[in-house]
A and B are shown apart, each in its own frame.
Chain A
């Protein structure tokens, strides 16, 4: 039989071997759980450079913003915004009925309008414009709470775009509403690009046509298509 070392030495050896198993377990746990603190940065390399990225913080300014607003009263080149058709949606004091110069009512333009409408407008007005968007639904639920509106909620049912009044809005007015808002609706001028707002206005008119159409408005070659769909219980 091989002579063994003293027991304390064997014991320490086994203990050390077991201790080696702890770090992998700890690491596996760290991997599996979220952590409120950012990891300690061991090698800095050039990870943190003395520069400001978008929306970063700059303590030198009172508001802490690294990105600065334009000085009040200044106008950037090309942003005089004097073209009232393009920027206000009005021509000679009347709502414009047509698109501004440089934009044309193409299928692509309407498709863009549809895409943007679905992003920014459908949340309240619904995909088809009936004022049944998800945000509107939730807000109406908060309003109809049995113990009164939740936390001061004061929501007014979003307008249906097929309301007779809204149907009468000219293209320029729809554009202006998208830009500056109306009644309880906030303006989206800062969120949506200029041309996209015109595309949305155009798409809203297309929606209005589509929801107020008869079979006679559908090209004859496509009517069969519509009827087969409706037999499946779905009108598209």
Chain B
């Protein structure tokens, strides 16, 4: 049995498999399947300063090897999260990550301040949500705005700070460098790719938001490429996500450059995926004579 533990931004995860924000809520529903301790960590549903109702339905469309969603950051607000969900999550023997979204620089800072006074293990800054009108991805698509929001939040954030990057950019490595240069402790990528489906009978988009975020196996090769590019450009830890659904995908993502991974959409297909991925990862490490999963990261033999 190899050692699956990884250290990201000073936080120890018992394994490198983290539940991706937005796919597991605050963890309660999936704790009916298994103890949440099967995950190295859980990145909670994106929270905002005030409650958000989210987008009108339909919010979901299936796509070839994936899905679109436009939930629109429906959440009960950060205070509710801190009072109702966080105390429970902190007892589940897994790293708790708050995913923070805002519609202004002030929102992001205020939330980082508030959450710094809790026992949350890490803050993931969501500057990449494609499904809200204000904020979200508008902070994540230029080096200047990524630097500005990272810098502002860094000043007030007393927790390890991970910036979640959008793939809807020309040069993701430059974006990651902008985050790193302003004090980010880690980056996670990729958030969803903006996509669209249209009902050819009614000629209306299937999702009421018109566009949604594409996730699932369809985006996996894009995610692998971007993680590889980012890993070469930064020194801080890189958390890779986007369409990982098997242990082989997890291994591939780590070889590309990920220090840890997140899984999301696969939970909808197979809730037991985290357990299967951990088992497969362990077998692979044993078979390849590796004693720690950290030996796998960025072992790519690129041409």
**Is B one of A's binding partners?**
no
Q: Give me the interface of B with A, judged by CB distance under 8 Å.
A: none
Q: Give me the interface of A with B, judged by CB distance under 8 Å.
A: none
